[in-house]
A = this chain, B = another copy of it.
Amino acid sequence: MDFEPMGVAADLIILTVRDGSLQVLLIRRGIAPYKGRWALPGGFVRPAEDLETAARRELAEETGLGSDRIHLEQVATYGQPGRDPRGRVVSVAYLALVPDLPTPVAGSDAASASWVGVADVLGDPKRLAFDHHRILTDAVERARAKLEYSPLATAFCADEFTISELRGVYEAVWGQALDPRNFHRKVTKTEGFVTPTGATTTRDGGRPAQLFQRGTATTLHPPLTRA
């Protein structure tokens, strides 16, 4: 075997919807390089550890969540020579979608981790360390695209949610208002997207709304459409 050894890291793009906007969990770097700049959480993959296991471990460290039920998927791998000034590091990016957490960034080991609006970060290419702006761009586009043809938006919701809360997720991620009536019909008619629990809530005001859980579908036929 004749290869140059490299560092392999798992970096996380942890997205949530809070206060009607899409937000990403960032940490402020305490050490060089890029000391004081914002960065995506992440760390090196351990010798006997699977890539996804490493990503779940980092996720648990950052959010304090036993992360089995959190949606996590690989996005892409970034390996430009020079992307990390300390040496040759290849980074595998994982996208995590989490519900609005009651405890904001609990057991985090990073001194300062916080939720930041995605629109703000994407608007300033110099805000993030390394090539993390590029990674975030790719991950957010992946999330936006997947809302169209998968039931993934439910990953942003609590166990039980109303249709209008689900619509709020779409509106935050896509940055676009949707017709509440047509959205309601489309979601409830699509086989396996959501299943009613029988309960209702008035937490959104107005007439009581039915509560739903995630369904069993993995793809949406037909898809929802942006713009």
Contacts and interface: CB of A to CB of B under 8 A. Distances in A.
Nearest to A48: B81
Contacts of A77: 51, 74, 77, 92
Interface stretch (A83-91, A97-105, A118-126, A199-207): A83-91
A51 B79 contact: yes
Interface in A1-42: 1-9
Contacts of A112: none
Interface in A71-85: 74, 76-81
Contacts of A88: 47
B51 A90 contact: yes
Nearest to A145: B149
Given A51-B77, A51-B79, A74-B76, A90 B8 contact: yes
Contact of A5 (B5, B50, B80, B86): B5
A47 B89 CA distance: 11
Contacts of A51: 77-80, 90
Interface residues of A, number: 30
A128 interface: no
A146 B9 CA distance: 28
Contacts of A79: 8, 45, 50-51, 92
Contact of A86 (B1, B87, B89): B1
Contacts of A76: 74
6 contacts: A1-B87, A3-B89, A5-B6, A45-B79, A74-B76, A90-B90
Given A1-B7, A3-B7, A47-B81, 10 more contacts: A2-B44, A3-B8, A4-B44, A8-B79, A8-B90, A51-B78, A51-B80, A51-B90, A77-B92, A79-B92
Q: 10 closest A-B pairs (Cβ-Cβ)?
A: A5-B5, A3-B44, A3-B7, A51-B79, A4-B47, A77-B77, A6-B8, A48-B81, A77-B92, A1-B86
